[in-house]
Amino acid sequence: MDNKDEKITVSKNFIQHIIDKDLEENVYGQRVHTRFPPEPNGYLHIGHAKSICLNFGIKEQYNGKCNLRFDDTNPTKEEVEYVESIEEDVRWLGFEWDGLYYASSYFEKLYEYAEVLIKKGKAYVCDLCPEEIRQYRGTLTEPGKNSPYRNRSIEENLDLFRRMRAGEFEEGSRVLRAKIDMASPNLNMRDPVMYRIVYAHHHRTNDDWCIYPMYDYAHPVSDAIENITHSICTLEFEDHRPLYDWFLIELKEYFPTPPKQIEFARLELTHTVMSKRKLRKLVEDGVVDGWDDPRMPTISGLRRRGYTPSSIREFCDRIGVAKSKSEVDVALLEYCIREDLKLKEPRIMAVLDPLKVVITNYPEGQVEYLEAENNQENPEMGTRQIPFSREIYIEREDFMENPPKKFFRLSPGKEVRLKNAYFIKCEEVIKDEKTGEIMELHCTYDPETKSGTGFTGRKVKGTLHWVSATHAIPAEVRLYDYLFLEDEAEEEGKEMTLNPDSLQVLKECYIEPSVKGAEPGSRYQFFRHGYFCTDSKDSTEDHLVFNRIVSLRSSYNPNK
């Protein structure tokens, strides 16, 4: 996609064109009413965010309405915990729903409409077992066969359906089916099941029901009950649209202006999986530390990682909405959070792998406070004072005893600048006698070279970040990498390779004292290391824990 096409998708997508036309033709008067219908069987992921931004975005653009509807027609997989997390996530993204509904609230109505269909001769009770139903359905190349129960009388069907509801039959022994066309080229139209018997406890209706409606029946009718105008779903449902329309045409006297189903391509991202089933498996197998593990593509994981709602909304805007499938590079999501935080968050010094440096000619016990800009690209963020003293930490990788030619950081006899402070020169390397490990460096500093004093006497090539050893705050830092190495996530039957190094925990890091008392969820840029956020679960006043949101640079170009 080139830049120009992208702009067009962003400004008006094909769904907006459909809505514009409906408004022009007054199909629904001037109403625009969408809904976001998650099944509460897991936590929402970034793919859901695309659907949320789309549905709630349309509400905002057209001054319409958008409902949040829990599609809770499947009693065995749903839980209250998921309902609560979904509400929290939608709100966190910055959206407010007009109506909050549950498909289960419509069980009685759905039942009544099913009786209407039976009375019209459009639905029947079928005693074939699931395996037989499958065999009778036929294939893509062969038509199906009529069920031997297809011509039951209306009275018998009504009686059996009522007794199904009353709990007289065993689970799986009977179903209610729509009577459409067993020879239809569209398999979804070959007398699809509308109701099945399930003796399960439902999270809201408890044990009131032992028959449950199928998605293909419950969804269009729920949309119609809520007066939805545009029912937006993902492409897998394209072949179900004739069935969606069929139910509402058969119930036309109740729903004179039925909603319209519109499909768009679901979001797929590189280096991760995007299905609740697969995500649940990662949680259950203990591969990650819960649905909100910062490596998860869930909204709660991204939030804990440190992503902002605006970065996710910007990402959803940029990917646009289209009918053709495409996988999005996760680098675009990372680009969006960098762009969002760049000018907003303070840039501070943190040493993740400390090496002690003693400045031998700096007076013992002396402390001076040096001025530092909070964000070089945003002067409005002002300045702060950082303590400097005789003992500091630098990054272990910033020193080499035998450096190659182009190494401009610290090495024996070489001089570098300490950011916002002085030039130091390495005079002596102190090693552990037994292991040979470098324990500390002895350096000297030149008081003439203080930052901001306009010293021009000589130049150095390297600038190192550092923290004062006595003032720095010890912290734990968690660095994340992708959960998966390969990109073939969604290809059926193909398992992605888990990345064994997706989490690196650094227990002994030192951060400059400005982070003291950081509230959970505080964000910073650490020089050279990237953007970080205090962990909302594990970070406390006495033990700060930082998550790396994203590293600083990437070769990614969003306009390519």
Interface residues toward Mg ion, by CB under 5 A:
39
**271 binding partner (options Mg ion, ligand ATP, none; Cβ < 5 to 8 Å by kind):** none
Contact residue for ligand ATP among 33, 50, 219, 240 (CB under 6 A): 50
Is 78 a catalytic site residue? Answer: no
184 binds ligand ATP (CB under 6 A): no
Is 196 a catalytic site residue? Answer: no
51 binds ligand ATP (CB under 6 A): yes
Stretch touching ligand ATP by CB under 6 A, among 6-14, 32-40, 137-145, 240-248: 32-40
Is 39 a catalytic site residue? Answer: yes
68 binds ligand ATP (CB under 6 A): no
Q: Catalytic residue, from 122, 162, 204, 266: name it.
A: 266
CB burial readout 159-198, b (16+ within 10 A) else e: ebbeebbeeebeeeebbbbbbbebebeeebbbbbbbbbbe
Given the complex with ligand ATP, which of 38 and 57 has the nearer CB atom? 38
333 binds ligand ATP (CB under 6 A): no
Q: What is the CA radius of gyration of the chain?
A: 31
Given the complex with ligand ATP, which of 276 and 338 has the nearer CB atom? 276
User: In 238-377, where do the E strands start and end?
Assistant: 260-264, 268-269, 327-328, 347-348, 350-351, 354-359, 368-373
Residue type, 354: P
Spatial CB neighbours of 180, under 8 Å, sequence gap ≥ 6? 189, 190, 191, 192, 243, 246
487 binds ligand ATP (CB under 6 A): no
| Residue 486 Cβ vs ligand ATP, minimum distance, rounded to whole Å | 18
Given the complex with Mg ion, which of 22 and 216 has the nearer CB atom? 216
Q: How far apart are CA 259 and CA 241, in angstroms?
A: 11
3-state DSSP of 57-77: HHHHHHCCEEEEEECCCCCCC
Q: How far apart are CA 413 and CA 351, in angstroms?
A: 23
Among the listed residues 209, 276, 256, 265, the one whose alpha carbon sits nearest the alpha carbon of residue 237: 265
**468 binding partner (options ligand ATP, Mg ion, none; Cβ < 5 to 8 Å by kind):** none
Q: How far apart are CA 218 and CA 305, in angstroms?
A: 36
Minimal CB distance residue for ligand ATP: 47
238 binds ligand ATP (CB under 6 A): no
33 binds ligand ATP (CB under 6 A): no
Contact residue for ligand ATP among 205, 275, 378, 444 (CB under 6 A): 275
Stretch touching ligand ATP by CB under 6 A, among 132-140, 143-151, 272-280, 408-416: 272-280
Q: Catalytic residue, from 276, 303, 414, 548: name it.
A: 276
The CA-CA-CA angle for residues 302, 304, 307, to 5°, reads 45
| Helices 309-319/3-11 angle, 10° precision | 110
Active centre residues (catalytic): 39, 266, 276
Residues that bind ligand ATP (CB under 6 A): 37-39, 47-48, 50-51, 71, 233-234, 266-267, 274-276
